[in-house]
A and B are shown apart, each in its own frame.
Chain A
Amino acid sequence: MSSKDPHGYKKTLSSPYTGVKGWIDSRLPLIRMMEAEYLKFPVPKSLNYFWSFGGIAMFCLIGLILSGIFLGMHYKPSAAEAFNSVERIMRDVKFGWLVRYLHMNLASFFFIAVYIHIFRALYFGSYKAPRELVFIFGMLMFFLMMGTAFLGYTLPWGQMSYWGATVITNLFSAIPIVGDAILTTLLGDFNVSDATVNRFYVLHWLLAFAIVGLVVFHVITLHMTGSNNPTGMEPQNWDETLSFHPYMTIKDTKAMVLFFMLVAFVLFFYPNIMGHSDNYIRANSMVTPAHIVPEWYFLPFYAILRAIPDKLGGVLAMFGSIALVGLLPWLDTSKVRSCLYRPIWRICILLFALDFFVLMYMGAKPAEGIYVIISRVGTAYWFLFFLVLAPLVGYLETPRQPLTISNFLRDKKALN
């Protein structure tokens, strides 16, 4: 038996630092980790500004949690008091209007950042091996975000809160056999009621922190593989990388300040532009709004839901449309990551982005006439994209040879 260091004890205690920093770091290796992952962490030189949206999304999340904590100190989760407590925040709480509008608008901007972030992942093939888990944790987060946003939208207890919650929770009743049981468990009643707003409030908080947990997994998995980049090629040598700090920190900060200027512009001058005026009417179970429209970020999926004439089919299509995105690492058969070198897939992805906006528009329109037909075409393309085009284009297409990061940068410089 080795008497010197039986459990590798001394090795764990060895820290690159001395003094207090070394004392802490040898017991809690957080400083070491932060330095390795956020200061020295090598990233490809060729990243463009699309790569700033992950950090932007994280700051949106932090802003949402902070503003949410302060809202929670004044909000009252009951059918009788919810609406007026929000108005009390808007009128009587010092800077309450700011915190409330911040929370409301940051939710939308969080989705904007995340949608751009997901598009980036699709376009440059960031979902492919070895980053499948990064992508899947990302999509799980997106799914939880949708849940959190839906629950949160119920809380102000306006007309759209109430009726949106009624329509969406009703989807669960489409599930055979257990549907009604799930529905009443979720609502705590037979319809959206006092019990519902109370439990939705708790779940809204819970899911928000579940997202934070997934962020940790998202970042850990990302830091195992390193960032993808526009070429989709892994860095060949150290010359093709930069340390995260100061290069990415300053670049991301610049992008972030620009993004938050946009947030500030909307927040301070058009705070209700992404909301619905009906939500300033107190929830009333006796009056149904003329058009029940979900928040804008749900509209593409709402359009898919309504495109299918069968209720259960619609629900399956809606959840399936999100699940399929998560399966893309295995549905896409191409070896080449970046769309820059995949002429056909590039068109497919751009059409997919267009499809997203078309469906978003259709989701806001009443489900009648031409809108239903366009919704169905859009839904068909969504599924065609994942189930047929992704595997097929990978086989049929002849991709160009991707450039190495150095050559990519050289060519880009020559173009300028």
Chain B
Amino acid sequence: MKKITYIIFFIFFNLSISHSAGSKIDIPKYDWSWKGFFGTYDRSAAQRGFKVYKEVCSGCHSMNLLSYRNLEELGFNEDQIKVIASDYLIEDGPNDEGDMFEREALPSDRFANPYPNNNAARAANNGAYPPDLSLIVKARPKGADYIHSLLLGYNEAPGDFNVPEGMWYNKYMEGHLIAMPSPLSDGAIDYDDGTEPTLNQLSSDVTTFLAWAAEPSLENRKKLGIKVLLFLLVLFILTYISKERIWRDIKH
């Protein structure tokens, strides 16, 4: 039994090293509310983060896997969501006359896209395509730590580092060149709940929001996981006792 445990451990050890291969940039670790066995998304941080997304990021970045109705999970109520959705115009149709028309978004609609298509997005951003943010936290190694670091990583380029026109230096970007200018700064937006909108606060709030957007099932998953593990633990104790009982008279 011991041997098998070692083998399994060894396989996992191997996996973790094989996947950490690649980047040489050290991403600092942060203490997120959703980490650990009982972790949950900090609702007020995520709500503030949504405001950051809405007022800053959504100018260029789509989040086309989310619907306005999903915001209910962050603690917005139905009326608030209707108001949020109605701020956006989306194209619908064709109507009975065969014409496309614009209407206010409904809670059931996906987040409105800032650009009509990818080419328009590129044309407006110096040829760089602002990625969709729905899954961004899961789509990058080191996830939330990386996103938060990136938003804070707009330092002065070292003297000998050549930053071409239309690019910015970022400490945590692979290759240190990023096409997105620093999106956040102290006081970039105002919070409704009186929280001080420092750069660090804005960045960690929007990261919380994006982490939720990428993995909305996390809380249910962890809750169910605890139950399943407890169930299996009891089952294991029962099978352990049964095995001892059944094998009691066997010389082995």
Point out residues on A near B: beta carbons under 8 Å: 45-46, 49-50, 84, 87, 90-91, 97-98, 101, 112, 115-116, 119, 242, 246-247, 250-251, 253-254, 257-258, 260-262, 264-265, 267-269, 271-274, 276-278, 280-281, 290-291, 293, 296, 299, 357, 360-361, 363-366, 409, 413
How far is it, in angstroms, between the C-alpha of A247 and the C-alpha of B245 when the chains are bound? 10
Q: Are B251 and A277 in contact (CB under 8 A)?
A: no
Instruction: Tell whether B123 is near chain A: CB-to-CB under 8 Å.
Output: no
Instruction: Tell whether B119 is near chain A: CB-to-CB under 8 Å.
Output: no
Q: Which B220-234 residues sit within 8 Å CB-CB of chain A?
A: 220-222, 224-226, 228-229, 232-233
Q: Are A277 and B18 in contact (CB under 8 A)?
A: no
Nearest CB in chain A to that of B1: its residue: A49
How far is it, in angstroms, between the C-alpha of A46 and the C-alpha of B247 when the chains are bound? 12
Instruction: For the complex formed, measure the closest distance between the CB of A107 and the CB atoms of chain B, giving whole angstroms.
Output: 14
How far is it, in angstroms, between the C-alpha of A242 and the C-alpha of B249 when the chains are bound? 12
Please name all residues of chain A whose beta carbon is closer than 8 Å to the beta carbon of B138 when the two chains form the complex: 272, 277, 280
Q: Are B243 and A257 in contact (CB under 8 A)?
A: no
Give the interface SS of chain A, mostly helix, strand, loop or mixed.
helix
Q: Are B229 and A268 in contact (CB under 8 A)?
A: yes
Q: List the 10 closest pairs (A to B, CB-CB), nearest first.
A: A268-B225, A364-B18, A280-B139, A97-B217, A254-B239, A280-B138, A280-B135, A257-B236, A261-B232, A250-B243
Q: Are B217 and A281 in contact (CB under 8 A)?
A: no
A97-B217, A250-B246, A257-B239 in contact; A269/B37 too (CB < 8 A)? yes
With A91-B70, A247-B247, A296-B14 already in contact, 5 other A-B pairs whose C-beta atoms are closer than 8 Å: A116-B8, A246-B246, A247-B246, A250-B243, A250-B246
Instruction: Tell whether B242 is near chain A: CB-to-CB under 8 Å.
Output: yes
Give the interface SS of chain B, mostly helix, strand, loop or mixed.
helix
Q: Are A84 and B18 in contact (CB under 8 A)?
A: no
Instruction: For the complex formed, measure the closest distance between the CB of A325 and the CB atoms of chain B, giving whole angstroms.
Output: 18
Nearest CB in chain A to that of B217: its residue: A97
Sample 26 A-B pairs with CB under 8 A, ordered by A number: A45-B251, A46-B252, A50-B4, A91-B65, A91-B217, A97-B220, A112-B11, A116-B4, A247-B247, A250-B243, A250-B246, A250-B247, A254-B242, A257-B236, A257-B239, A261-B236, A265-B229, A269-B37, A269-B222, A273-B15, A280-B139, A291-B21, A296-B14, A364-B17, A366-B21, A413-B251
How far is it, in angstroms, between the C-alpha of A229 and the C-alpha of B97 when the chains are bound? 78
Nearest CB in chain B to that of A365: its residue: B21
Q: Are A357 and B10 in contact (CB under 8 A)?
A: yes
Q: Are A250 and B21 in contact (CB under 8 A)?
A: no
Instruction: Tell whether B28 is near chain A: CB-to-CB under 8 Å.
Output: no
How far is it, in angstroms, between the C-alpha of A25 and the C-alpha of B74 when the chains are bound? 59
Instruction: For the complex formed, measure the closest distance between the CB of A339 and the CB atoms of chain B, giving whole angstroms.
Output: 13
Instruction: Tell whether B216 is near chain A: CB-to-CB under 8 Å.
Output: yes
Instruction: For the complex formed, measure the closest distance between the CB of B116 and the CB atoms of chain A, giving whole angstroms.
Output: 18
Q: Are B15 and A274 in contact (CB under 8 A)?
A: yes
Instruction: For the complex formed, measure the closest distance between the CB of A374 and the CB atoms of chain B, giving whole angstroms.
Output: 14
Partner of B232, one of A112, A260, A274, A281: A260
Partner of A276, one of B19, B65, B221: B19
Instruction: Tell whether B94 is near chain A: CB-to-CB under 8 Å.
Output: no
Instruction: For the complex formed, measure the closest distance between the CB of A413 and the CB atoms of chain B, giving whole angstroms.
Output: 7
Point out residues on B near A: beta carbons under 8 Å: 1, 3-4, 7-8, 10-11, 14-19, 21-22, 37, 65, 70, 131, 134-135, 138-141, 143, 174, 214, 216-217, 220-222, 224-226, 228-229, 232-233, 235-236, 239-240, 242-243, 246-247, 250-252
Q: Are A258 and B236 in contact (CB under 8 A)?
A: yes
Partner of A267, one of B225, B239, B247, B252: B225
Instruction: For the complex formed, measure the closest distance between the CB of A375 and the CB atoms of chain B, giving whole angstroms.
Output: 13
How far is it, in angstroms, between the C-alpha of A260 and the C-alpha of B18 when the chains are bound? 24
Q: Are B221 and A97 in contact (CB under 8 A)?
A: yes
Nearest CB in chain B to that of A88: its residue: B65
How far is it, in angstroms, between the C-alpha of A155 and the C-alpha of B250 when the chains are bound? 49
How far is it, in angstroms, between the C-alpha of A164 and the C-alpha of B218 when the chains are bound? 28
Please name all residues of chain A whose beta carbon is closer than 8 Å to the beta carbon of B135 when the two chains form the complex: 87, 280-281
Please name all residues of chain A whose beta carbon is closer than 8 Å to the beta carbon of B4 when the two chains form the complex: 49-50, 116
A97-B217, A247-B250 in contact; A254/B224 too (CB < 8 A)? no
Please name all residues of chain B whose beta carbon is closer than 8 Å to the beta carbon of A46 when the two chains form the complex: 252
Nearest CB in chain B to that of A158: its residue: B139
Q: Are A84 and B139 in contact (CB under 8 A)?
A: no
Please name all residues of chain A whose beta carbon is closer than 8 Å to the beta carbon of B16 when the two chains form the complex: 273
How far is it, in angstroms, between the C-alpha of A287 and the C-alpha of B228 when the chains are bound? 40
A277-B141, A281-B135 in contact; A361/B246 too (CB < 8 A)? no
Please name all residues of chain B whose beta carbon is closer than 8 Å to the beta carbon of A257 when the two chains form the complex: 232, 235-236, 239
Q: Are A361 and B239 in contact (CB under 8 A)?
A: no
Nearest CB in chain B to that of A87: its residue: B65
Q: Are A254 and B174 in contact (CB under 8 A)?
A: no
Please name all residues of chain A whose beta carbon is closer than 8 Å to the beta carbon of B228 when the two chains form the complex: 264, 268
A250-B242, A269-B222, A361-B14 in contact; A291/B8 too (CB < 8 A)? no
How far is it, in angstroms, between the C-alpha of A280 and the C-alpha of B252 when the chains are bound? 50
